[in-house]
Amino acid sequence: MKRMLFFALPVFFAFQQVVAQQDSLIKEINEQVWKPFIQSFNAGDDEAFKAVHSKDIIRVIRDDKDIYGYDRYFQKTPDSVKKKWGDWKKNIELRFVQRIAGNDKAFEEGYYKTTSTNRQTGEVRKGIGKFHVLMRRENGVWKILMDADTSEGASEEVFNKAKPLE
């Protein structure tokens, strides 16, 4: 029994250290990526939204079977589209089912829920999707390197079961 305890304790303490490092990195990612992501999305601040993404971003729209890079993802939104959506207040919420972070790379999987409310009519539109994101640290700052999403398997029920952003 003592022999087993002798070998188990170092493993336990090493595991605790890995968990503490993960928690620290996830808090850092929340501050550098997810909080600015949500704030910029909700405010319609295109420049701040771009800032949380790597210049090497790969955007995957699984439902449309489409994949593209930074220039296409962030091409200038036409004024006609801005005007059409100008009366809409946007809100995005994120929930996570898996978060894995190393010193300079991270993978996260979860669900998002968007709610758009027309300021004039009160009409509400909602959407839920599943996302997979790869991130890397660039010059000491976390950036989204790959963002893939789909509506497959996404529902209010699975969204609510996932862990909210802390």
Domain 2-164 has CATH 3.10.450.50: yes
Q: How far apart are CA 9 and CA 120, in angstroms?
A: 62
pLDDT at 28: 97
Q: How far apart are CA 85 and CA 146, in angstroms?
A: 26
Q: What is the pLDDT of residues 41-85, one digit of tens each?
A: 999 899 999 999 999 999 999 999 999 999 999 987 666 556 666
pLDDT at 15: 45
Q: Higher pLDDT residue, 118 or 87? A: 118
Domain map (residue ranges) of the chain: 2-164
Q: Which two tokens stand for residue 122?
A: 């009160």
Q: What is the pLDDT of residues 15-47, one digit of tens each?
A: 445 456 769 999 999 999 999 999 999 998 999
pLDDT at 76: 73
pLDDT at 86: 74
pLDDT at 40: 94
**pLDDT (mean) for 143-160:** 97
**Number of helical H runs and strand E runs in the chain:** 6, 7
Compute and round to an integer the Cα radius of gyration of the chain: 19
Q: What is the pLDDT of residues 100-146, one digit of tens each?
A: 999 999 999 999 999 999 989 999 999 999 999 999 999 999 999 99
Q: Higher pLDDT residue, 8 or 87? A: 87
pLDDT at 78: 65
Q: For residue 156, give the 3-state DSSP assignment.
A: helix
What residues pair up with 106 in beta bridges, in sequence order? 101, 135
pLDDT at 87: 84
